[in-house]
Chain A
Amino acid sequence: MSVEVAGLGHTKAEGPLKLAVPRGALLDETLDALDAIGIDTSEVRGESRSLIFETEGITLVTMRPSDVPTYVEAGAADVGITGKDVLLEQADRVVYELLDLGFGRCRMVLAARKGDESLGESQRRLGMMRIATKYPRTAEHHFESTGRQVEVIEVKGSIELAPLIGLADGIVDLVATGRTLEENDLEVREEILECTARFVANRVAHKLRAAEVDELTRKLREGLTR
């Protein structure tokens, strides 16, 4: 019955750690960060349609950023990388947030049509603003914590459309360069928070594969300062 605990990595026979890698805007910088710590990402960068890539010592699993907390919470992936915006929106998912990776920097903002007064007007007359967003929980939390009432309207697609044709007074969205806002004649009214990519771990993997998770965290942290 003796199971070695000090090197808990050895108690498992489940092969290499599985790392959830976000496709989309964070993919390139995530792969750069992995390259920097000696993980071979060339296959992921290639034309392959595969979702799972076995590399030396670690398995890379690619998925939508918003699915990363789901897979990591369930332990289907041991560790993962995703944006803070995703983690905030899914704050009830139990994942351990171990490291701010610093890349993928963008801002969550409240935006409205340039020169348009309907945000303030609605707030004054109706005591209530209509806000369209893909991040309903983050938006609700922001307005609640600043003492304002809003009607949050969740949309899935191009969020810029909502204030242009009168679905909402404003939007809460993620902005990297601000060009999309500019092109749609929208402007930033409030900064809500700044988001970067985060390294997260499954709660059980963090305990049972402590040595491997710590080693990966350490390398990623060192990779940041280089």
Chain B
Amino acid sequence: MIHPIPPGTRDVLPDEMRELRRLHLAMIEVFESRGYGEVATPAIEYDEVMARGDGRTAASAYRFFDERGDLLALRSDMTVPIARLVASRYAGADPPIRLCYLANAFRAVRPQRGQMREFAQAGVELIGAPAPDGTAEVVDVLEATLDAAGLNRAVIGLGDSDLFRQLLSELGVEGEARDSVLGRLAAHDLVGLEAELSELDGIGAEQVDTCVALSQLRGGKEVLEEARALGGAAVERATARIGDTFEALEARGVADRVQIDLGLLRDLGYYSGAILEVYDPAIGHVLGGGGRYDGLLKRFGLDLPAAGFALYLERVHVAQMEEARGGEGP
């Protein structure tokens, strides 16, 4: 008899499980060797905890009442539960605190899209180490993790989550209009972006071109110069932040695989400053991401800067297999 499972979930059979386990162990070994201790947290949290992390986007898609009537939620990522854990259990500890995890998280899926409702993430959280050195350490660990997974061609995008927020404020675009423009930028809908900006009061053709051009700047260190040439105080600040981070990466000798990308925006609301995305030429989907969330711990009552990354274990596994086959991906 066939008994279905919910769309977006899956069984793992022994052959794949063996490979996933090997990958898992290789990643955790890198984390541990860099001083990141593995933690586990419950898959279900109080909804209030997940919502405190980010009421807008990271809040769980799966919420239910327990026998006492408390509202519970399936975690939608690990960053928020770890912020909760650190604020509760490490409040008196000397920073920085280094933690890592491999855990399943849960998100809503759209039908027939092959999206996963339950997925495994492997990642680290570095709490109490400010930019740029903290960010550079996280990128360093990320590169070592990608190497351990055999993804020698993987590239890490480095952007700044405050760039467009601040640039738009500088141009006098606030509130709903700003959120809408940021949405266009996050989706990289350049046609819509241009149309929407053009309709706003006080935005001239030159400013529209600046925004569009900035969002397309990606490459080596030279793009920072190109960005500065486009002008503005917000651009100056963001490029200075990215430049500092890049220099810290160079100092560690891990800047080679980092692509500076001014158009990078991540849709989780808790990011501030540096943001990261991971790509491999063998597959068309993003392998993972991360960045700084200096304001997140404060929401849990512990004012410490923080940064981290998470990789989707299954996608890394697919990329690993493609790379092992000689990199002739789709």
Cα(A75)–Cα(B284), bound, Å: 4
Question: B103 within 8 Å of A by Cβ?
Answer: no
Check if B189 is an interface residue, CB within 8 A of chain A.
Answer: yes
- Binary flags per residue of A9-42, CB closer than 8 Å to B gives 1, else 0: 0011110000000000000000000000000000
In the complex, which residues 290-330 of chain B have their Cβ closer than 8 Å to any Cβ of chain A? Answer: 327-330
Is B155's CB under 8 angstroms from A5's CB? yes
Chain B hits for A207, CB < 8 A = 155, 157, 218, 259, 261, 277, 279
CA distance A3 to B258 in the complex (A): 9
The reply to whether A208 and B330 form a contact with Cβ atoms under 8 Å apart is no
B216 an interface residue at 8 Å Cβ cutoff? Answer: yes
Q: Which of A52-60, A96-104, A125-133, A180-188 contacts B (4 or more CB under 8 A)?
A: A96-104
Is the Cβ of B155 less than 8 Å from the Cβ of A208?
A: yes
A84 to B, closest residue via Cβ: B191
Contact of B259 among A8, A14, A74, A202 (CB under 8 A): A8
Q: Is B232 an interface residue (CB 8 A)?
A: no
Whether, in the assembled complex, B147 has its beta carbon less than 8 Å from a beta carbon of chain A, the answer is: yes
Q: A8: which B residues are within 8 A, CB to CB?
A: 155, 219, 259
Chain A neighbourhood of B190, CB < 8 A: 96-99
Chain B neighbourhood of A14, CB < 8 A:
281, 327-329
Contact B110 A203 (CB under 8 A): no
- Is B188 on the interface with A (CB-CB < 8 A)? yes
Interface flags, B248-283, vs A, CB<8A=1, else 0: 000000001111010000000000000001011101
Contacts of B328 in A (CB 8 A): 13-14
Interface check A171, CB cutoff 8 A: no
**Complex Cα distance A5/B154, Å?**
11
Pick the contact of B256 from A3, A12, A73, A203 — CB < 8 Å?
Answer: A3
**Is residue A92 contacting chain B, with contact meaning CB distance below 8 A?**
yes
Q: Is B284 a contact of A5 with CB atoms below 8 Å?
A: no
User: Could you say which residues of chain A place their CB within 8 Å of the CB of B219?
Assistant: 5-6, 8, 210
What residues of A have a CB within 8 angstroms of the CB of B256 in the complex?
1-3, 5
Query: Which residue of A5, A12, A198 is within 8 Å of B257 (Cβ)?
Result: A5
Interface residue range, chain A: 20 to 34
Q: Which of A1, A92, A204, A206 has the largest count of B CB atoms less than 10 A from its CB?
A: A204
At the interface, yes or no: B56 with Cβ under 8 Å from chain A? no
Report whether A13 and B327 are in contact in the complex, using a CB–CB cutoff of 8 Å. Answer: yes
Interface residues of B in 123-180 (CB under 8 A from A): 147, 152-153, 155, 157
In this assembly, does B3 line the interface, its C-beta being within 8 Å of a C-beta of chain A? no
Residue B15, interface by CB 8 Å: no
Q: Measured between alpha carbons, how far is A65 from B163 in the docked complex, in Å?
A: 35
Contacts of A205 in B (CB 8 A): 284
Bound: A12/B192 CA distance, A: 30
Q: How far is the CB of A40 from chain B (nearest CB, A)?
A: 24
Residues A169-226 near B (CB distance < 8 A): 198, 202-208, 210, 214
Q: Which residue of A lies closest to B184 (CB)?
A: A97
**In the complex, A97→B155 CA distance in Å?**
22
Assess whether B220 is interfacial by the CB under 8 Å rule.
yes
What size tier do the contact residues of chain B reach? 35 or more
Chain A residue, CB-CB nearest to B115: A92
Q: Say which residue of A6, A73, A76, A203 sits within 8 Å of B188 (CB atoms).
A: A203
Contact A3 B191 (CB under 8 A): no
Q: Is the CB of B258 within 8 A of A5?
A: yes
A198: chain B residues at CB < 8 Å are 191
Pair B192/A97 contact, Cβ less than 8 Å: yes
Q: Which chain A residue has the least Cβ–Cβ distance from B264? A: A207
**Nearest chain-B residue to A198 (Cβ)?**
B191
**A204–B327 touching, CB < 8 Å:** no
Tell me how far the C-beta of B325 lies from the nearest C-beta in chain A, rounded to whole angstroms: 12
Cα distance, A99 to B189, chains bound together (Å): 9
Q: Are B284 and A73 in contact (CB under 8 A)?
A: yes
Would you call B281 and A12 a contact (CB within 8 A)? Answer: yes
Closest chain A residue, CB of each to CB of B328? A14
State whether A92 touches B110 (Cβ < 8 A).
yes
On chain A, the residues within 8 Å of B284 by CB distance are: 73-76, 202-205
The answer to whether the Cβ of B91 comes within 8 Å of any Cβ in the partner chain is no
Which residues of A lie under 8 Å from residue B157 when comparing CB positions? 207
From B152, B189, B258, B261, contact of A97 by CB (8 A): B189
Q: Sorted from nearest, which 7 A-B pairs have the closest CB atoms?
A: A75-B284, A96-B188, A6-B220, A12-B281, A100-B191, A97-B189, A204-B279
A-B contact pairs, 11 of them (CB 8 A): A1-B257, A3-B256, A5-B256, A6-B220, A12-B153, A96-B187, A96-B188, A97-B190, A100-B191, A207-B277, A214-B216
Given A98-B190, A204-B283, 16 new contacts (CB under 8 A):
A3-B152, A3-B153, A11-B281, A14-B281, A14-B327, A76-B330, A94-B187, A97-B188, A97-B192, A98-B188, A204-B279, A207-B155, A207-B261, A210-B218, A210-B219, A210-B259
